[in-house]
Amino acid sequence: MNPTPSQTVGPFYGYALPFPGGGDLATGGIAVHGYVYDGAGDPVPDALLEFWQADEHGSLAGAPGTLRRDPTNGAILGRDGVRFTGFGRVATDLDGHWTLRTVVPPNGYISVCVFARGLLHHLFTRIYLGQDAFLDSLPPERRQTLVAAEEREGVYRFDIHLQGEKETVFLDFG
């Protein structure tokens, strides 16, 4: 069957998609943070990032409960802090910044899906927390765009450049 085409997320998803604690997959692990930039080098204040990853044992089974709800008033309570759901969602701040708190997956990378106003079809990339054979297959000058830099113990920096000299490597799964 032919697929339904993509369309931009637009600027007005705020009440629908982000939720409190969307970037807090786990406590006591690592933090990854950074900025999203456009082709002029300006921060993108209305990007939405989604993250998907294995748990610390390598399981990609995920778990429900990312959006756990209060049955009394319908409010979003968020994750219960015990089950690792594997999924995160963070809207960039007005300065284009985002933060994710999670655990290191044994396969070494966190999958990222990027949405934004002006982006008609989402983009996939990966945050690598160390070296990997896939990185070795990339041209050296672009490889580093997928590698998070350790700023201090347990805190990593990963910027996403949608366009330009520092353009991030984006992925096609076919």
Partner 1 sequence: MSEPLKQADIDQEIAARAGEPGDHPARDYAPYRSTLLRHPKQPLVAIKDPEAAELTGPVFGVSDVTPFDNDLTKQHLGEPLGERITVRGRVLDRQGRPVRGQLVEIWQANSAGRYLHQRDDHPAPLDPNFTGVGRCLTDDDGNYLFTTIKPGPYPWRNHLNAWRPAHIHFSLFGTAFTQRLVTQMYFPGDPLFPYDPIMQSVTDERARQRLIADYVHDLSEPEFSLGYRWDIVLDGPTATWMEEGR
Residues in contact with partner 1 by the rule CB under 8 A: 1-17, 38-40, 42, 44, 50, 52-54, 60-69, 71, 74, 85-87, 105, 107, 109, 111, 113, 115-124, 134, 138, 142, 162-163, 167-174
Shortest spacing between CB 51 and partner 1, in angstroms = 9
Residue 131: exposure state from Cβ atoms within 10 A (0-12, 13-18, ≥19): exposed
Classify strands 155-157 and 30-37 as parallel, antiparallel or unpaired: parallel
| DSSP designation for 142 | H
Nearest approach in angstroms of CB 151 to partner 1 is 24
Closer to partner 1 by Cβ: residue 99 or 107: 107
Nearer to partner 1, 90 or 162 (CB): 162
Residue 1 CB, nearest approach to partner 1 (Å): 5
DSSP one-letter string for 99-168: EEEE---TTSEEEEEEEETT-SS-EEEEEESS--HHHHTS-HHHHGGGB-EEEETTEEE--EESSSTTPP
Compare residues 105 and 156 and give the one whose CB is closer to partner 1: 105
- Residue of 141, 139, 123, 143 whose CA lies nearest to 131: 143
Residue 153: CB minimum distance to partner 1, A: 25
Instruction: List the strands of the sheet with 123-128, edge to edge.
Output: 87-91, 47-52, 109-116, 123-128
Using the minimum distance from each CB to partner 1, give the nearer residue, 115 or 158.
Answer: 115
In the bound state with partner 1, the residue whose beta carbon lies nearer, of 27 and 40, is 40
| Shortest distance in whole angstroms from residue 112 CB to partner 1 | 10
